[in-house]
Structure 1
Amino acid sequence: MGLAERRAAKEFETKRFPQFKKDIDEAAGFEVPVTVAWDTLALEGESHLYDQCWGQVYFVPLIEALKGITIDDMGKEALKGALKQIEIQNRSDISYGERMATFEGGILRLDHRPHTNIDDVKDRTKGIQTLLESKL
């Protein structure tokens, strides 16, 4: 990762991520630890895409899926009792929403290529929500 990528990743982490984290906690109904493997998201030569893509690929679908689960007290209680941590990364070369999420041992892991199928927010939201609902 070059200087341009490190700068763009750091800017997203310090300027955009705090609001996304707040929105995640609000959607979940409690404070959830979120770990982001920034170095795996920061693809070489694509720093101009980070600001646009990362929100649409990871954070917006996650927030919307959490909102879909916590629409009632049953969902809120189930999520709070099961979700311990969220991890966001790009390690498995996954580019389709229904395959991006895993949930094991209380850890929701989102693994997706950061600049692929960017506009498929609804598919990613559905994939995350469906997985969580099946495990709660």
Structure 2
Amino acid sequence: MTTRRSMIGLAAALASTPALVRAQGTIGLAERRAIAAYRQEKYPAIESGIQQAAGFAVPVEVEWDQLTLPGDAQYYARDDYFGKTIFEPLTAALRSITADAMGRDALRAKLQRIHIRYDEKTAPASNYPNGLSFQGGTLDINWRPYANTGDVAERTQAVTHLLEKNL
């Protein structure tokens, strides 16, 4: 009976999730399950790390429907899928900015929220500064997950330079 209830609960949760359609394909059940598991099991610690690096509880808005790519469900839990391409560079850049009191104060005064997304039409392949903007207190990151996973330093540098310029 418990298994049946669990299955009914899972089915209800998945049914309430809108069907996601992207230009490169349809997001299926496997992707929705995998992203839900990632958000529940891994993302809370990542978000906490981002806020710890910032030195305050900066709101982080992630457009999960845009980061969820068809056929990649089996990779979401890997550290290099979202971690090395988006979250690690962001966290490292925030740590760099907040290394001293001047940086902590400037970040707290100007950064109001972080918005993370992936728009396949406008996200750069490797020119990472082109995927960043800082306007009205919002740091917008538009990078493709699971691409050029070895470019953590380049991505970190792009975020750091943008923040230093705008704080």
TM bracket, shorter-chain basis = over 0.9
Contact between 1:35 and 1:88, CA under 8 Å: does it hold in 2?
yes
* Cα deviation 1:44-90 (Å, max 9, x = unaligned): 01112222210111110000000000010000000000000001100
> Which structure is larger by alpha-carbon Rg, 1 or 2?
2
Contact between 1:2 and 1:44, CA under 8 Å: does it hold in 2?
yes
User: What code does the residue aligned with 2:117 have?
Assistant: Q
Q: CA RMSD in A?
A: 1.0
Secondary structure at the counterpart of residue 76 of structure 2: helix
1:113 is matched with 144
Secondary structure at the counterpart of residue 32 of structure 1: coil
Task: Give, in whole Å, the separation in 2 of the partners of 1:93 and 1:135.
Answer: 21
Secondary structure at the counterpart of residue 108 of structure 1: strand
Shift of 1:24: 0.7
Contact between 2:31 and 2:70, CA under 8 Å: does it hold in 1?
yes
Task: Give the fraction of aligned pairs with identical amino acids, expressed as a percent.
Answer: 40
Shift of 1:21: 0.8
> Which structure 1 segments of 5+ residues have no match?
none
> Which structure 2 segments of 5+ residues have no match?
1-26
User: What code does the residue aligned with 1:132 have?
Assistant: L
Correspondence for 1:33 among 51, 59, 62: 59
Aligned length: 136
Point out the structure with the larger helix share: 1
Task: Give, in whole Å, the separation in 2 of the partners of 1:48 and 1:100.
Answer: 26
> Does 2:32 align with 1:6?
yes
> Does 2:71 align with 1:45?
yes
Task: Give, in whole Å, the separation in 2 of the partners of 1:86 and 1:98.
Answer: 15
